[in-house]
Amino acid sequence: MVSAAAQTAAPAAPFEDAPSLTMPGAPVRAGRPIAIHTADLPANEASGLVASRRHPGVFYWLRDGGGATTQRPRAALYTIRLGDDAQAYPVRRGENFPFAQVFEAPNTDWEDVVMDDDDNLWIGDIGANDCVSKQYLYRTLEPEPDTDDPFIVTARYPLAFPDPAPGCKTRNAEAMLWLDGELYIFAKTANSPVYRVVLPAERNKPVALLPVTEFDYGVDKISVSAVSDDRTRLTLAGHARYWVFAADPKLKGDAFLRKAMSGKPVHTARFDSAAGNASVEGGSYVPGTHDLLFVAENKEIFLVRDEPAKPDKR
């Protein structure tokens, strides 16, 4: 394991010269952590991961807790730049995992980040382990990843679940999904109920959460949700396991989720964590593929297929 300083010492390739993200037969065994220049993520408590549309190979992740320093802040988004060899590449001035500050969005308990159809990033301050914490959605503009520009918050929406748990004022949540022009939030509880966010006409006013469906199959307390670009897969994950569900690409929005969540998974597996329990809380499909990139609170990173690994015939 090399130090963080050693991994950033190599000269950075120009950002526009990043390897294409076709990932043909990615050279990583399913369920195994990726070697990111033999180093892990630079900060713990990773929670939430999303792929950029404007910048191929770029992913953003955030933290939901942990100690904060000037070099490892919490109110910030961190960047990963993934090449077609399943390795990380420098994003900015030789840094593999740089961050950019998010102003006017305090990190009470950030849990997930998604990208909308207009390339805005939405940060979900949606954790409420104490049953009473205030929860918010922050919409931000995506800066150029290879600059020091911050993320600018353009809207802030308070939220609360309409059906709080007994003795609570809201529900705890860790997973969000942008689907067909709508934002969805999964409650972290039994059967993983999902709610559609109804944004108000006026910015910064409270949103409404409409119940959509929940699982018939025993998928509980999820922390990750993702849909493949071809819309044939819905993947959900908890701290130690992920589930892949078949989806009907012809369906939209609520109907898409109800159909996909009504059956049993076509594949499920545990994360092969070197620590035994990685506490995975962020994940995204690699654009254009059925490969999944996950980040964990213990700094591990995983690249897995959304199907069982094929036997090695060599």
Mean pLDDT of 174-191: 96
Neighbouring residues of 172: CB distance < 8 A, sequence distance ≥ 6: 126, 127, 128, 129, 131, 187, 188, 189
Q: Give backbone dihedrals phi and psi of 303, rounded to 5 degrees, phi first.
A: -120, 120
pLDDT at 13 over 80: no
What are the chain's domains? Answer: 4-305 (2.115.10)
Q: Which residues are CB-neighbours of 106 under 8 A, at least 6 positions away?
A: 75, 125
pLDDT at 177 over 50: yes
CA distance 275 to 44: 14
**Most confident segment among 4-8, 145-149, 217-221, 246-250:** 246-250
Residue 227: how many other CB atoms lie within 10 Å: 22
- Contact predicate 26/87, CB 8 Å: no
With a cut of 60, say whether residue 30 has pLDDT above it: no
Averaging pLDDT over each range in 16-30, 70-84, 108-122, which range is the top one?
Answer: 108-122
Above 80 in pLDDT, residue 300? yes
Angle formed at CA 292 by CA 289 and CA 296, multiple of 5 degrees = 160
Q: Give residue 256's region: left, alpha or beta (phi > 0; psi -120 to 50).
A: alpha
pLDDT in tens, 41-89: 888 989 999 999 999 999 999 998 777 888 889 999 999 998 877 778 8
Task: Reply yes or no on whether the pLDDT at 36 is more than 50.
Answer: no
Q: Which of 62-71, 174-183, 222-231, 305-314 has the lowest mean pLDDT?
A: 305-314
Mean pLDDT of 213-231: 92
Q: Which two tokens stand for residue 152?
A: 């600018």
Side by side, the strands of the sheet bearing 46-51 are 46-51, 58-63, 76-81, 99-101
pTM listed for this prediction: 0.88
Query: Residue 26 pLDDT more than 80?
Result: no
From residue 133, alpha-carbon distances to 15, 162, 169, 173, 220 in Å are 40, 15, 8, 11, 22
The predicted pLDDT at position 312 comes to 54
Average pLDDT, stretch 198-213?
Answer: 96
Can you tell me the distance from the alpha carbon of 240 to that of 276, in angstroms, rounded to the nearest whole number?
A: 9
Q: What is the mean pLDDT of the chain?
A: 85
pLDDT of residue 25: 33
DSSP assigned state of 16: G
Distance, in Å, from the CA atom of 77 to the CA atom of 123, rounded to the nearest integer, reads 9
Kindly indicate the confidence band of residue 313, based on its pLDDT and cuts at 50, 70 and 90.
Answer: low
Query: Would you state the pLDDT for residue 211?
Result: 97
Residues 228-248 have a mean pLDDT of 95
